[in-house]
Amino acid sequence: MKKNTQIIMKNFSATPRSSSAPSMDPKIWSKLPPEILEYILSFLPLKTFLNLRSTCKGFWSLIFSPSFISKHSSPSSSSSSSPFSSFLLLSHPQFHRHFPLYDCTLGTWRNISLSLSDSSLHSCPSLTTLVSSGGLFCLSDSLSCSLLVCNLLAKSSRTIQYPSFSLHLEHLTFVTTPTGYTIFVLCSQAASNSAFVYDSNVRTWNRFHGFGPVLGDNHHQQGVFFKGGLYFATPEPFSVVIFDLGSGKWEKPVGGLPSQLTFVRLVSDGEGKLYMVGGVGNNGISRSIKLWELGGDGNWVEVQSLPDLMCKKFVCVCYHNYEHVYCFWHEGMICICCYTWPEILYYLVSRRTWHWLPRCPSLPLKCSCGFKWFSFLPNLYASV
Amino acid sequence: MGERGEEWEAVMLRKAEEEESKAVKKVKLVTSDGVTMEVEISTVKEMETIQAFMNATDTDNSIIFPLPKVSSHILSRIMELMSGEYDQELVKRLSHEELKEICMVANYLNMKTLLHLTASAIANLIQNKSVEFVRHFFNIINDFTPEEEVQLRKTHEWAFEGVDED
């Protein structure tokens, strides 16, 4: 799909355009050699240039020219170098094919929501099970038995066939790495189940043994990527299991979990810390909600308790039913969500404070449940 | 004693000659309007295109290098910028025509610092400008259909709303 990178300059003698300012004199700046024009444009901040992308077809395809990619795709994945805001994206049945965006950099809801207007996404109405990581999203289409990985900023996507024809994929986990991405799924067929891992660098699925006991009680919770493995919390009796992405082996960590847990969710900051969010109480009723961090010795160290009032609200929101609770990491925030509630409870790690993310203003007052939230860090050069 | 003194003198003389020939070695640049400008060899070091030519033709004689695309006016401006160690303020004082010409020459002579400086100065001229402005500025033909353009402009809309242009 080679695009035309030619930039057509007008012949100025043929187009007598009135120009008031001397700086606008097209006679000066027309007919710059294309390589110089490209070099000049590469000095613009990426965001400024994206605004100018619709100048002509040549400009449109320039952002994928080698000089632009080397200039604008910084090797570090730190958000400070990204010219884009970081977003929390809300998927809700009442917003068909578009997603309200909460701008975490500005701390507001955006007026414009992100829509999947791309024709390739439009054509499959059966897309479900969205998962996200970094700038990429992974959608599952059960009709065509395929996964779709897409970069919504670059408008690029790739279709990946399911690893088996089993219609039941579980624990779809999607992890972006500096060199690409990894997809993990569990497929259960009859009595046995298998784990499949897709590596974007080699573009193939690898099959490994599945895990006997049930992994997690909640299909909104992804496996958590930490130190080369995927961490899962099992339902009662609560435990943590690790799937080593390199060897494909299942392991159990050494340390035990705190006692009197009512639910357990894991979150990784992606840089070397693994957190656990859990309720503490009796008979499935949480008296408090706590945050732990995995210590070097494999034990869980308590970091904070959720303040009482917030805890009361949270357990009310869940009706003491924690099946719908799922957690994820987003730019220094530990987000604790409930599938049935339109607000996110989050913990700001740097400030050690808890907050509720304001409800999306475009949601109707009475709306059905089905709140799925995703971390979204737009990255033009995250390749699919 | 006397003989050794003469020998010594001869050595010194040879050394001086060698040094002189090194110091004197200059490059003559001939501009499009026929002006010959003699420049120090150190000046030429940054002009990688000429440097490559000199490395290829290892000669002791001074070199004459024709620059049919460069006027004497632009060349002297470039010399000013080089001796002023590429001061941003000097760049700001250039007319747009000079800026464009210098950028083209910097590209032609492969002068990396100068190309970087002028290209970023030109980029500053279109910073935060509209698509219409940029089309007019570079005299670029819009090769999208109106429908395509509307669609494309929407593509990144969500990423920028409410954000100051930087």
**Contacts for B75-78: CB closer than 8 Å, 24+ residues apart:** B75/B29, B75/B31, B75/B35, B75/B37, B75/B105, B76/B37, B77/B102, B78/B102, B78/B105, B78/B106, B78/B111, B78/B114
Q: Does A31 touch chain B (CB under 8 A)?
A: yes
Determine, yes or no, domain membership for B164: no
Give me the residue from A23, A26, A48 closest to B128, CB to CB: A48
The pLDDT value given to residue A78:
40
pLDDT-based confidence at residue B54 (cuts at 50, 70, 90): confident
Q: How many CB pairs under 8 A join A and B?
A: 137
Interchain CB distance below 8 Å, B165 and A112 = no
ipTM exceeds 0.95, yes or no: no
pLDDT of residue B124: 92
pLDDT band at B115 (very low <50, low <70, confident <90, very high): very high
Flag if A29 and B138 touch (Cβ within 8 Å).
Answer: yes
Q: Which residues of A touch B115 (CB under 8 A)?
A: 39
SS3 category, A374: strand
Contact across the interface for A113 and B158, Cβ inside 8 Å: yes
Q: Is A37 on the interface with B (CB under 8 A)?
A: yes
Q: A170 vs A194, A208, A217, A245, B133, CA distance in Å?
A: 10, 14, 11, 17, 52
Q: Which residue does chain B place closest to A377, by CA atoms?
A: B159
Nearest-Cα residue of chain B relative to residue A110: B161
Write the CB contacts of A240 (distance below 8 Å, at least 6 apart in sequence). A231, A232, A233, A234, A252, A253, A257, A264, A266, A276
SS3 assignment, position A136: strand
Q: Do residues A138 and A132 touch, judged by C-beta distance below 8 A?
A: yes
Distance of CA A186 to the CA centre of its chain: 20
What CA–CA distance (Å, rounded) separates A232 from A265?
Answer: 8
Comparing CB atoms, the residue among B100, B143, B160 nearest residue A28 is: B100
Grade residue B153 by pLDDT with cuts at 50, 70 and 90.
Answer: confident
Q: Between residues A213 and B151, which one has the greater pLDDT?
A: B151
pLDDT at A127: 67
Q: What is the CATH number of the domain that holds B97?
A: 3.30.710.10
Which tokens sit at A146?
Answer: 């395929």
Judge whether A23 is closer than 8 Å to chain B, CB to CB. Answer: yes
Structural domains in chain A plus CATH codes:
22-72 (no CATH), 79-376 (2.120.10.80)
Q: Is residue B165 part of a domain?
A: no
Which of B156, B164, B165, B166 is the best residue to mutate to test the A interface, defined by the most A CB atoms within 10 Å of its own CB?
A: B156
- DSSP H helical ranges for chain B: 2-24, 41-44, 48-56, 72-83, 88-92, 96-108, 112-126, 131-138, 146-155, 157-160
Smallest Cα distance from A29 to chain B, Å: 5
Sheet with A156-161: strands ordered across? A127-133, A136-141, A146-151, A156-161
8-state DSSP, B126: H
Q: How far does A150 lie from chain B, in Å, by closest CA?
A: 15
Whether the CB-CB separation of A100 and A108 falls below 8 Å is answered with no
Please check whether residue A26 touches B, CB under 8 A. yes
B104–A8 C-beta distance less than 8 A: no
pLDDT of amino acid A217: 59
Interface test with A, best of B95, B109, B143 (most A CBs within 10 A): B143
For residues A99 and A89, the answer to whether their CB atoms sit within 8 Å is yes
Q: Is the dihedral of CA A316, A319, A322, A326 positive or negative?
A: negative
Q: Do A36 and B104 touch (CB under 8 A)?
A: yes
Q: Which residue has the higher pLDDT, A32 or B17?
A: A32
Mutation site, A55, A90, A153, interface B, largest B CB count within 10 A: A55
B143 within some domain: yes
Distance CA A173, CA A223 (A): 6
Regions of chain A with pLDDT less than 70: 1-6, 9-26, 74-82, 117-129, 166-167, 190-191, 213-214, 216-218
Residue B31 covered by a domain = yes
Q: At residue B42, does pLDDT exceed 50? A: yes
Single pTM value for the model: 0.76
Answer whether residue B133 is part of any domain.
yes
Q: What is the mean pLDDT of residues B33-59?
A: 85
Tell me which residue of A159, A128, A158 sits closest to A142, measured CA to CA: A128
Among chain A residues, CA nearest to B158: A112
Give me the phi and psi of B136, to 5 degrees please: -70, -40
Q: What is the pLDDT of residue B17?
A: 63
Cα separation, B130 vs A51, in Å, equals 8
Q: What is the mean pLDDT of residues B128-136?
A: 88
Q: How far is residue B82's CA from residue B113's CA, in Å, rounded to a whole number?
A: 9
Give A22's contacts in chain B (Cβ within 8 Å): 96
User: Please, which pLDDT band fits residue B19 given cuts at 50, 70 and 90?
Assistant: low
Give the distance from CA A168 to its chain's centroid.
22
- Cβ contact A60–B155 (<8 Å): no
In a domain, B87, yes or no: yes
Question: B128: domain range?
Answer: 2-158
Is B165's CB within 8 Å of A111's CB? no
Q: Which of B140, B153, B157 lies nearest to residue A56, judging by beta carbons?
A: B140
pLDDT digit string, tens, across residues A147-174: 999 888 887 889 999 988 766 788 889 9
Q: How far is A306 from chain B (nearest CA, A)?
A: 33
- Structural domain count of chain B: 1
pLDDT at residue B164 is higher than 50 = no
Instruction: Name A208's bridge partners.
Output: A195
Interface with chain B: mutation pick from A4, A25, A29, A112, highest number of B CBs within 10 Å: A29
Cβ–Cβ contact A378 with B under 8 A: yes
